[in-house]
Chain A
Amino acid sequence: MILEKLLSHGKKERDVTEDIKRHIGLLCTACDTFKTAVERDDPDLVENVIQLEREGDSVRREVISHIYEGAFLPYLRPDLCKFVEIVDEVFDLLKDTAFYYLSTRLPERIKDDCIRVALLNFRMCEMLLISYEAMLKGKDLRDKTLAIRIYEKKVDDLKYDLFEEAKKVRIDTFWDGRMLADLISGLTTISDIIEDASDHLQIIHVSMR
């Protein structure tokens, strides 16, 4: 199959494909850790999310440098780099969201919905990994991208309710309100970027046919 030949021809290519898998796997772990941190209200676990982002950053740098050291045909390199950068954007936003979480107190009335969004974000990461592995095997991604769109729609449904509930929370200072708004915004935007990553994966998949 041409896709397998393109993606696993040499050692450099195999290193890159494995590193990308590791990158997405780390993102899954970070999203899962954040969900558990919110459930348990555990600041140490939130710190772990920030550590995982740093680790993800170093994997991203390795992937990009391996690609430009000559892995893959030149026409494929920008798309692969772009995909890795989009996944890294998710990491960045998750880290910012973790920071906002540490800087504010999550009101009880929105806690359950925040946990549900965090769970959906984690499920979307899992699906992105499944999608990536399917692409490596040259399988059709249609059902995977649809699943990611379904998850994203679920997060969107929760997003507006979350903001409506947040309006009812008594805020004492400007920064309390700002941090809470940024926390909700970050948490509910992660799914948009994962969807972008999934769309880009589909583009790579099509371009390699």
Chain B
Amino acid sequence: MKVHEFMSTKIEFIDANRSVYDAAERMVDRRIRSLAVKFSGEEPGYGVVTSRDIVFKVLAKGINPKKIKVSEIASKPVACIDKDTGFENAATIMEKSNIARLFVCDEGEIIGLISLLDVMAAELVAIARGDHDS
């Protein structure tokens, strides 16, 4: 099964110059664990900021989230896979990179996101379809 069949297309973006407080507010409001970060200027592209980054890099260290920019804690570049990648390959990349979510890209643009839960669900569907029978 290809990742585009099961990816989530509900992706929230935030500008890299916004504060970590803005990012945390957005995550809590939308009940999501990560935001795609849009970088512009000399080094355009995408990054990612997760709830883990905010808690460990800012809140746990007693830093005021209003005084730090998203760009300072975001990871860049993002791990991106093609929409026609199979779930098994996606799982291998996640395992090797020790990450819980992968962005799905098409011609350099983010079009979706897959999480560990999506990988598990896809695997259960593959078992039901008999894809592993041989």
Task: Find out whether the CB atom of B128 lies under 8 angstroms from the CB atom of A143.
Answer: yes
Size of the chain A interface, CB-CB below 8 angstroms: 19
Task: Find out whether the CB atom of B130 lies under 8 angstroms from the CB atom of A130.
Answer: yes
> Can you list, as one digit per residue, whether each of B61-83 has a CB less than 8 Å from chain A (1) or not (0)?
00000000000000000000000
- Bound CA–CA A46/B128 (angstroms): 30
Task: Assign chain B's interface to a size class.
Answer: 10 to 19
Stretch at the interface among A21-29, A80-88, A98-106, A112-120: A112-120
> Can you list, as one digit per residue, whether each of B95-134 has a CB less than 8 Å from chain A (1) or not (0)?
0000000000000000000000000010011011110000
Confirm or deny: A157 has a beta carbon within 8 angstroms of a beta carbon on chain B: yes
Task: Find out whether the CB atom of A161 lies under 8 angstroms from the CB atom of B129.
Answer: no
Are A154 and B9 CB-contacts (below 8 A) given A127-B128, A130-B128, A130-B130?
no
Confirm or deny: B10 has a beta carbon within 8 angstroms of a beta carbon on chain A: yes
- Bound CA–CA A147/B121 (angstroms): 8
Task: Find out whether the CB atom of B124 lies under 8 angstroms from the CB atom of A146.
Answer: yes
Which B10-24 residues sit within 8 Å CB-CB of chain A? Answer: 10
Confirm or deny: B51 has a beta carbon within 8 angstroms of a beta carbon on chain A: no
Task: Find out whether the CB atom of B5 lies under 8 angstroms from the CB atom of A143.
Answer: no
- A-B residue pair count with CB separations less than 8 angstroms: 36
Which A136-154 residues sit within 8 Å CB-CB of chain B? Answer: 143-144, 146-147, 150-151, 154
Task: Find out whether the CB atom of B128 lies under 8 angstroms from the CB atom of A146.
Answer: yes
Task: Find out whether the CB atom of A116 lies under 8 angstroms from the CB atom of B129.
Answer: no
> Inside 8 A of B10's CB, which chain A residues have their CB?
157, 161
> Inside 8 A of B127's CB, which chain A residues have their CB?
143, 147
Confirm or deny: A123 has a beta carbon within 8 angstroms of a beta carbon on chain B: yes
Task: Find out whether the CB atom of A147 lies under 8 angstroms from the CB atom of B5.
Answer: no
Task: Find out whether the CB atom of B129 lies under 8 angstroms from the CB atom of A130.
Answer: yes
Confirm or deny: B50 has a beta carbon within 8 angstroms of a beta carbon on chain A: no
Q: How far is the CB of B127 from chain A (nearest CB, A)?
A: 5
Task: Find out whether the CB atom of B9 lies under 8 angstroms from the CB atom of A147.
Answer: no
Q: How far is the CB of A22 from chain B (nearest CB, A)?
A: 21
Task: Find out whether the CB atom of B121 lies under 8 angstroms from the CB atom of A150.
Answer: yes
Q: How far is the CB of A143 from chain B (nearest CB, A)?
A: 4
Task: Find out whether the CB atom of B125 lies under 8 angstroms from the CB atom of A151.
Answer: yes
Can you list 19 pairs linking A and B with CB atoms under 8 Å apart?
Answer: A113-B9, A116-B9, A120-B5, A123-B125, A126-B129, A127-B125, A127-B129, A130-B129, A143-B124, A144-B128, A146-B124, A146-B128, A147-B128, A147-B129, A150-B124, A150-B125, A154-B121, A157-B8, A157-B10
Apart from A143-B128, A147-B124, what 15 extra A-B contacts exist at CB < 8 Å? A113-B9, A116-B9, A120-B5, A126-B129, A127-B128, A146-B124, A147-B128, A150-B121, A150-B124, A150-B125, A151-B125, A154-B6, A157-B10, A158-B9, A161-B9
